[in-house]
Amino acid sequence: MVSFDHKSIRLFEKIILVFLNIFNFFRNKNNLRILVYHHVEKKDFKKLYNQLKSLKKKWNFITPKEFENHLNKKNILKGRNLLVTFDDGFKSNFFVEKNILNRLHIKAIFFVPSDFIKLKSRQKSQKFINDNILDHLKPKDFKKLKNMSVHDLKILLSKGHEIGSHTKTHANLGFMRSVSSLKKEIIESSKTLGKLLQTDIKHFAFSYGNYESMNYKSLKIAFKKYDFIYSCLRGNNFYNYKDSLIKRDTVYLDSSDDLLKIFLSGFIDLKYLFQIKKMNNKITEMRKK
């Protein structure tokens, strides 16, 4: 049996796209999806620009504030909407904003580990990346990698973007049982970013963001501290209520745009429905206590 993951989907992209024409005819037209990117190699800048430019022809790119207002039922969106996010705080994200997002008039949320953005030397930055962030093969430009600085984040804020917490050290919270350790990762990161940037940190994204990286204790602490909690489980957020887990679509720049079309169609959402339901049940149970 073929596993239902993105690697398998790549093998059958063309066939799936044919079925999507039928699937799209019956699906609900109101859609609110969130893209998540990580480090973007310079060789992929052109591809990212073309990808976002192409998406703008069929999707409405919303601002973080518009997303907040939708979830808070202050101003309900209509049609097909996209929000862009970046995880991990890489310096490449700052240049992506300057050279791509700015040209396309797209506002984004940048989720950063608070310990990472405080580092001031490339050596310490690369050690942090190697020890805390990379869980796969090193990118070809690893030696050029570094963190965004506090100054960079202030510039992003001044241009209308939002900064969110991505824990203190990019820890996998699903494997942590100590409440005090979880509070350091979740709450201390907010306090640090808020103090450094002189702004209220309302958004939090679980590092890794898969089902295993979120446990009951971490969800309870996160929802008590932040207004908006993000995963990397795929899905449509249009009908989300405020105190529910936010879903995001990870984008792979080394794959074809057809794969992204499949993800954004909602065709793969079924894989995550049970996990999302279990998470939201945990959150509901937590709210009753």
Distance, first Cα to last Cα, the chain: 42
- Phi and psi at 162, nearest 5°, equal -120, 145
- At 259 the three-state DSSP class reads helix
Residue type, 184: K
User: pLDDT digits over 182-224, tens only?
Assistant: 999 999 999 999 999 999 999 999 999 999 999 999 999 999 9
4 with 220: CB under 8 angstroms?
no
Taken in order 263, 270, 11, 22, the sign of the CA dihedral is: negative
Rounded CA gap, 28 and 31, in Å? 7
User: pLDDT digits over 99-148, tens only?
Assistant: 999 999 999 999 999 999 999 999 999 999 999 999 777 888 998 999 99
Structure tokens given for 179: 């409440």
User: What pLDDT shows up at residue 244?
Assistant: 92
Closest CA to 231 of 207, 259, 263: 207
Could you say which architecture CATH assigns to the domain 6-288? Alpha-Beta Barrel (3.20)
Question: C-alpha 100: how far from its chain's center?
Answer: 18
User: pLDDT digits over 58-88, tens only?
Assistant: 999 999 999 999 999 999 999 999 999 999 9
201 with 164: CB under 8 angstroms?
yes
Taken in order 196, 197, 203, 207, the sign of the CA dihedral is: negative
Domain ranges (residues) in the chain: 6-288
